[in-house]
Chain A
């Protein structure tokens, strides 16, 4: 297609779009265009619009600056009621003006435009502007990640009805506003909501996403955030208490009752928000898993109640001589094993208890074992080789995440080499290599019920897998940028993802669709944690900011004061859900009063007195000795375990 005929083709396409047949025919005749060219009319909407608008403004790059300045003045002078909502419009208009200037080869104007108005944009957009500022040629728009996101998607802005009518009136009155009208038509989705205009704080609470706020309709679906009924609870108490009787001293009758109360208080009341147990098929528990669950329950009965007055003890595991090489870690549910993934593709597993790590016997020897024997599991294991640390070799790139399965028989790891690997902790070998991600895999997590796991990566997708399938069961697509972290909901029905596009999304495992999109983070999200009750999700970002979201509404429940000064890479809820702990690269661990955070009534009502209360959220901060915190884990008894690497100043 020649350069000159492109505008003509665009006009033709426009005529066809509006079904103006006769005009189209006349134009075709006049321009003597062949059928072939006309058939292949499939210019993207965006390009079409930009080609057509070009005829107004192509010749005059100064209109952009004038128009933007005019819009800014109009917003500044409008009533406070509308001001803050309208100001969210400025950033997308600014970005698209810049891209249009680049598109029409007014590079120098574009640069001066960016330098003049770029500084005025919100601080959380500065990072993006820096990324965008490297685009200085129209050919570069195509390949650039961020520029493509902007030019192929619509930026969503929420305005109240009054504010949007004010805007309309302004745009009609102004002569040189056609540029803005075009941009708004092509690149901005204005969602009008009834009700008063929002305040500055309200606007700020949800602003920050790469493409603005989510549409209200996107968060309407009901989310079953309740917990599943524990299926094995009726089976289990008997064997559990049998074991307990062996260990415990005479005062156990009381304890037994208390424990029963504890365990049955929550469960029999079926949660109205809980999904049906068979909503997604869950694996049956094996006998050995039941024993493990029993242990967990017994431990849970000895749990310490935490609160502002009783803070947890923290045991810090320092990885010595690791420097920058240790990059991921996980502690298994019963806190007996520690796995660390390294920069050099290696994975190390340490035992944290005196029980040594044992391998399984070789196949020939296994055949000799009496399979009916009661202690067959013990006999399977090698007696001789016992270690406190074992290596797992197989990856060919940095291991970005390691994860123990709930029953501590398997380990998952994901790496820069685009694979996810499943390892056996009995024979200490790799069992499966899951290929599917095309680019580095950033995160992988087990379902709390085992069997399923989810991974996310640089290819902007999150995937749901089952251990017995080599292909993913679901692929969740929607993020505009890398999916940096992933987390399973405690009821295994949902997956939450956090991304570089500064949104947290919730996906339904059953349907594969997105059910929540939550904006408000001002930086890349690196870690997510579901509350114990399943209703809240906490997220931590690269700027050291933390937010807590309410899954029932999809809105932010609280934005915690920015206490950390470096990226947060670890979040953990205490087992009773009262304390949230966060660990960051600034070498601190902070404890937050989660009861206070969620006690706040929804954000709209308490917004005015929210700011002074924020101080109360932070319970305490513990500094480590130049050891960035890379992992946090609450034991079943509510002892906090933290993992970090000692980085000497040299």
Chain B
């Protein structure tokens, strides 16, 4: 309102009048005439627009449209403007240059013959009615048809200032909890607030929902899991449960990494994926829980019981993609997320003793490995690769020689698992590096040059690069997408088959198998560059655990954790608990709870509290030991 010219309108200039006059063939329009015309035209235009406003209002719109102008012309007994039909409001473009400013409407030249030959446009969808509950007894249900009860901005504000939630009048907050009049009145009459605590209560329904969802997500029923993940990805009212969900995931990862329970880790990562896809959640608050969990699943030394057999590579790939998505979505200049994540992975490639201390499965293996395990290297490479070719160039390429040595050493050494890992790592490195190298180097690819520059991997890299060069379709791959494609009944073999793998193949066919499908296809993904849906099929056997345990002595569980832990076992004689890398840490509570062996075929969690229980499916006659994390109770 400060600008008086804005307050009471503008008018057409003499120049525009002259331009318009020229366009209709009147070359010389006098200044006086132009002024008269400008004034009159301005007045008439404004009257028409004012009348058009009435039509806009009665059409229950807030944007003026062309039809409104037509109707306004009509009531003034003027001819309509034919041929200006546009269903939406006109998009004005703005251009300036040479000290002039211009607003114009973009008009594209249309090729008539093209229109005539084109197939007829689709018939627009017919109007249909859809009913949903906006409110049930004064409470707005959190269904996708309703707006999220707490907008992202509000969630953000709450995370910055938790007290702000309390100052809001409770009766305006319709976020899922029924507010009866009595409570509201109590609140109103309460005059003294001794101390304000931001509470996070869950209603009974929400508790049930939480229980159902978490059980379904880690349960054995694939259709239920799909539904639960769908709910996590789409439902708007989850923000109240979000802290618990994130704790569930992070605790779950901690426990199952120790347990080497690949299946559950995959389920948990799929939960992370679903939460990331949910548009209504403000996840920034919980990244400190999610990122360690996800990165654990990328670089952990061991993720499954039989590294030489199970396809934990798929999990690493999937988690790496998740990490890339997290970085893309949440990276800001203040949190420097991508930089920190990149540094984390880069460290794994550089300093062998940095990344393996958190999640090592046993004391013994820790001592043995002075170098970063190959699996972790694979994860770090994959994690970096997902962050884009630039990252690959800066962080992986200089390490190729060293990585090649590692691969070479492992391939020539003994131990099926190591060889498999090395093969995988090699394959992955080639795939990641080839497009980047192709961009960097000029066409004459000499194996000797490559050998000199990249060491052991040089010749293979040269082959890969020249292969890419020869096939033009691959030019868009960009080196960022890892493709591990397996057809359903295939085994989790690495691309380079090894004899140990084949020997296992016959065995796995006898045991009960379970197929896991990681599908990354979701309806709305915030990260624009999510790779096309891929299927990973992981075969996990149920009888295998006993074989593994035989190596470390039947009935012994080695728990390596810095968390207070409760171990529930059924047929275990002894429990060894080791603390984390920092020796002499805080005293730990260890509880051993003896449980009767159950012949529980199902996956139902055995627990008295509504807290997740990570139980391995008891497929075989002798269920494997269970390890429950109840640390939150301690």
Contacts and interface: CB of A to CB of B under 8 A. Distances in A.
A589 B180 CA distance: 20
Interface residues on A, range: 35 or more
A625 B50 contact: no
Most buried by A among B39, B60, B138, B140: B60
Given A315-B134, A319-B129, A309 B58 contact: no
B576 interface: no
Interface stretch (A224-232, A325-333, A377-385): A325-333
A118 interface: yes
B157 interface: no
Contacts of B135: 311-314, 620, 622, 640
A134 B41 CA distance: 11
Contacts, number: 168
Interface in B168-203: 171-172, 174, 180-182
A205 interface: no
Contact of B8 (A118, A311, A440): A118
A318 B42 contact: no
Contacts of B57: 484, 524, 526, 542, 567
B4 A115 contact: yes
A439 interface: yes
A619 B135 CA distance: 13
B95 interface: no
Contacts of B54: 458, 482, 500
B39 A321 contact: no
Nearest to A524: B57
A134 B60 contact: no
Interface residues on B, range: 35 or more
Contacts of B131: 315-318, 352
Contacts of B137: 310-313
Contact of A316 (B46, B59, B133): B133
B83 interface: no
B127 A620 contact: no
A316 B145 CA distance: 10
Interface stretch (B61-69, B251-259, B389-397, B618-626): B61-69
B60 A628 contact: yes
B8 A115 contact: yes
A111 B39 CA distance: 13
A130 B9 contact: yes
B39 A325 contact: no
A329 B121 CA distance: 29
B125 interface: yes
A328 B60 contact: yes
A147 B232 CA distance: 60
Contact of B129 (A350, A569, A622, A625): A350
A442 B57 CA distance: 10
A365 B106 CA distance: 58
B9 A134 contact: yes
Contact of B47 (A114, A134, A324, A623): A134
B60 A625 contact: no
Nearest to B131: A317
B7 interface: yes
A165 B65 CA distance: 52
B128 interface: yes
Nearest to A350: B129
A130 B138 contact: no
Contact of B75 (A133, A135, A348, A440): A440
Interface of B: 1, 4, 7-9, 39, 42-43, 46-47, 50, 54-55, 57-63, 65, 67, 71, 75, 87-88, 124-138, 140, 145-147, 171-172, 174, 180-182
11 contacts: A115-B4, A312-B135, A318-B132, A327-B58, A328-B60, A350-B129, A398-B59, A585-B60, A620-B138, A620-B174, A625-B145
Given A318-B145, A585-B61, 20 more contacts: A126-B7, A130-B7, A134-B9, A134-B47, A312-B138, A315-B131, A318-B132, A324-B61, A327-B58, A338-B129, A343-B59, A397-B71, A398-B71, A526-B57, A589-B134, A620-B172, A622-B174, A623-B147, A624-B147, A625-B146
Which 8 pairs of residues, A with B, have the shortest CB-CB distance? Answer: A311-B138, A309-B181, A316-B134, A133-B8, A314-B135, A314-B134, A321-B125, A115-B4
